[in-house]
């Protein structure tokens, strides 16, 4: 049969075959909400009717500013399933960036959690295309007055809509969702996924040697639904019928551990920073994990000490994975092969510290600076290139031109690949900093510094940080005779960028190394400051 691969089929399947399976959410409002796939499907159909009634046409962008929760999940299916495009905005960005991205995406309607009311109030009069604002809560939690024009209440819209809605059939190459990444230079760029790319990615992600999802699992995605669709877990969970547990905004160690235990979570997924908070809480309170069997760690390299703590102290298996927004995001997962179980503990740990082998559908290779393919010997390191049916061919609206090199997507990561196909990231060629799983644009930070009258040249690099993985370190060459202090420069950032982007430290240099074309050689700076100790706050 010729059937289109459509995201709505996941929800139809989950309702029909796993209707009783639970979807549990800790809500922004503070309580724990219990629901099922059946209810989720009914409410998603209602929401699809709401979108249609509000004039959302196929292809229109439906924006969200929301935590992980059932209402967000309903929008995942209502928007994409009805042929519109779900656009998950990142609420951690500076309001100016949120406005820029919403305008660029031409968002038509915005759904947002209570937490983000102040943010939406700050941007509502500035965004050009959003006509409708919906607060994702019930009447009791609606503000008495708001600066947001004609603010609608999510629960009222759902209650008033019919649940009679037939998911439309259309070409599987239709766009389904949109996510912006700042992981490249210049303005944030949009990555547009299709129904086909999402469905193929979901099949692959659920496989045993990939994220290994099944109906026997209770999955708690800590990775936000505004980060590459929570690594695809909201789709994979429906495909396999796993119980889903959403943490809402409560991502501290205690809240997560409580939820793991009360909901008997077996699998979780997130960036190392989150796990650090969790482990610290568990350690200092002498707790354990009674049901957690596996945790998927990605977004940044998983420190070996974290792996040891999870596996040796708490008997929670770590799955180290690598991916990026541009590849939906899954690229590799570090699942060992049978022969590796003969390795001793240290050797096994060293292997697990690698980002892993390609999941079926993703092809990897590493190349030298002149584009030659390098051997898969675990030693040669070069830029990592990928291709596959869920890898982008271009950014949304063609921004930045053609990113491909000979039909391969250059990741900006530098890695090795060993004879068994295990890839290990060794460096990053892109000039960005990743802090707690979120990008910080080094060029934006340099531009602010360069605007200071005493600064002749500024370079910003990521310095190692025990909690955030990387934090911005600003390296500055002063103008001759000019005077400025570290603290003055740090204060200079006030109000110009999101506060958490502010550099942690400033070091004054006589010169910044430049390459033949006059470009700053940040790899040299990264090497020079590899052991730089950032001041503790």
Structure token pair of residue 368: 């030298």
∠ CA 152-158-161 to the nearest 5 degrees?
110
Tell the smallest beta-carbon distance from residue 439 to ligand AMP (Å).
Answer: 6
Q: Which of 287, 302, 315 is nearest to 469 (CA)?
A: 302
**Alpha carbon 419 to chain centroid distance?**
30
Residue number, 35 or 90, with CB nearest to ligand AMP: 90
Residue number, 49 or 325, with CB nearest to ligand AMP: 325
Rounded CA-CA distance 266/72 in Å is 22
Under the binding rule (CB under 6 A), the answer on residue 193 touching ligand AMP is no
Pairing mode, strands 22-26 and 505-508: unpaired
Instruction: Out of 324, 364, 476, 497, point to the residue binding ligand AMP (CB under 6 A).
Output: 324
Tell the smallest beta-carbon distance from residue 275 to ligand AMP (Å).
Answer: 12
Tell the smallest beta-carbon distance from residue 273 to ligand AMP (Å).
Answer: 12
* Residue 64 phi, psi dihedral angles, 5° rounding: -130, 150
Q: Cβ(107)–Cβ(127) under 8 Å? A: yes
Residue number, 404 or 507, with CB nearest to ligand AMP: 404
**Beta-bridge mates of residue 460:** 474
Stretch that binds ligand AMP, among 53-61, 78-86, 315-323, 521-529 (CB under 6 A): 315-323
Tell the smallest beta-carbon distance from residue 436 to ligand AMP (Å).
Answer: 11
Active site residue 499: no
Tell the smallest beta-carbon distance from residue 331 to ligand AMP (Å).
Answer: 8
Under the binding rule (CB under 6 A), the answer on residue 469 touching ligand AMP is no
Active site residue 184: no
3-state SS, 302-336, equals: CCHHHHHHHHHHHCCEEEEEEECHHHCCEEEECCC
Rounded CA-CA distance 65/89 in Å is 5
Instruction: Out of 9, 218, 328, 411, point to the residue binding ligand AMP (CB under 6 A).
Output: 411
Instruction: Out of 107, 217, 413, 504, point to the residue binding ligand AMP (CB under 6 A).
Output: 413
Instruction: Out of 228, 306, 316, 448, point to the residue binding ligand AMP (CB under 6 A).
Output: 228
Tell the smallest beta-carbon distance from residue 193 to ligand AMP (Å).
Answer: 13
Instruction: Out of 26, 428, 452, 471, point to the residue binding ligand AMP (CB under 6 A).
Output: 428
* Residue 478 phi, psi dihedral angles, 5° rounding: -80, 155
Stretch that binds ligand AMP, among 158-166, 201-209, 288-296, 408-416 (CB under 6 A): 408-416
∠ CA 158-160-166 to the nearest 5 degrees?
70
DSSP string over 263-279: TT--EEEE-HHHHHHHH
Give the interface size with ligand AMP as a residue count (CB under 6 A).
20
Q: Which of 87, 83, 82, 86 is nearest to 98 (CA)?
A: 87
Under the binding rule (CB under 6 A), the answer on residue 137 touching ligand AMP is no
Under the binding rule (CB under 6 A), the answer on residue 295 touching ligand AMP is no
Active site residue 291: no
Active site residue 326: yes
Please pick, among 15, 74, 263, 326, the residue that the annotation labels catalytic. Answer: 326
Tell the smallest beta-carbon distance from residue 384 to ligand AMP (Å).
Answer: 8
- Residue whose token pair is 């500076």: 94
Pairing mode, strands 175-181 and 189-194: antiparallel
Under the binding rule (CB under 6 A), the answer on residue 188 touching ligand AMP is no
- Dihedral sign for Cα 300, 301, 306, 310, please: positive
The residue ranges that bind ligand AMP (CB under 6 A) are: 181, 183, 228, 298-301, 320, 322-325, 329, 355, 411-413, 425, 428, 434
* Residues labelled as active-site residues: 181, 326, 434, 439
């Amino acid at each position: 049969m010729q059937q289109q691969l459509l995201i709505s089929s996941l929800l139809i399947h989950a309702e029909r075959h796993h209707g009783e399976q639970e979807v549990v959410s800790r809500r922004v409002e503070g309580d724990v909400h219990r629901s099922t796939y059946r209810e989720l499907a009914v409410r998603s159909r209602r929401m699809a009717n709401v979108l249609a009634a509000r004039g959302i046409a196929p292809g229109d962008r439906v924006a969200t500013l929301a935590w992980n929760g059932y209402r967000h999940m309903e929008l995942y299916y209502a928007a994409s399933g009805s042929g519109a495009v779900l656009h998950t905005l990142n609420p951690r960005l500076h309001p100016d960036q949120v406005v820029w991205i919403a305008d660029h995406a031409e968002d038509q309607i915005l759904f947002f959690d209570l937490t983000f009311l102040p943010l939406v109030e700050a941007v509502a009069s500035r965004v050009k295309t959003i006509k409708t604002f919906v607060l994702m809560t019930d009447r009791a939690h609606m503000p008495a007055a708001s600066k947001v024009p004609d603010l609608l209440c999510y629960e009222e819209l759902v209650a008033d809509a019919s649940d009679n809605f037939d998911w439309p059939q259309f070409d599987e190459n239709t766009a389904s969702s949109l996510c912006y990444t700042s992981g490249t230079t210049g303005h944030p760029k949009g990555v547009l996924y299709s129904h086909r790319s999402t469905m193929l990615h979901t099949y692959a992600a659920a496989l045993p040697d990939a994220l290994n999802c099944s109906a026997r699992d209770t999955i708690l995605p800590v990775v936000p639904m505004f980060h590459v669709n929570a690594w695809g877990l909201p789709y994979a969970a429906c495909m396999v019928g796993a119980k889903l547990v959403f943490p809402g905004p409560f991502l501290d160690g205690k809240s997560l551990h409580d939820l793991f235990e009360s909901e008997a979570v077996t699998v979780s997924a997130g960036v190392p920073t989150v796990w650090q908070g969790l482990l610290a809480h568990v350690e200092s309170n002498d707790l354990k994990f009674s049901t957690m069997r596996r945790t998927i760690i990605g977004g940044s390299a998983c420190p070996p000490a974290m792996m040891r703590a999870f596996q040796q102290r708490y008997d929670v298996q770590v799955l180290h994975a690598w991916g990026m927004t541009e590849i939906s995001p899954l690229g590799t997962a570090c699942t060992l092969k049978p022969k590796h179980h003969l390795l001793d503990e240290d050797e096994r740990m060293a292997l697990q510290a690698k980002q892993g082998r390609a999941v079926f559908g993703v092809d990897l290779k590493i190349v030298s600076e002149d584009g030659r393919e390098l051997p898969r010997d675990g030693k040669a390191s070069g830029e990592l290139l990928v291709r596959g049916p869920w890898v982008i061919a271009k950014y949304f609206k063609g921004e930045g031109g053609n990113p491909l090199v000979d039909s391969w997507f250059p990741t900006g990561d530098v890695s090795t690949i060993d004879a068994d196909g295990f890839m290990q990231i060794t460096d990053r060629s892109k000039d960005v900093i990743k802090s707690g799983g979120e990008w910080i644009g080094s060029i934006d930070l340099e531009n602010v510094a360069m605007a200071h009258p005493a600064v002749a040249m500024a370079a910003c690099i990521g310095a190692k940080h025990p909690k955030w993985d990387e934090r911005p370190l600003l390296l500055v060459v002063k103008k001759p005779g000019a005077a400025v202090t570290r603290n003055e420069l740090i204060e200079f950032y006030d109000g110009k960028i999101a506060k958490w982007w502010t550099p942690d430290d400033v070091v004054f240099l006589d010169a910044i190394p430049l390459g033949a074309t006059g470009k700053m050689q940040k790899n040299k700076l990264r090497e020079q400051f590899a052991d730089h100790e950032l001041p503790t706050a």
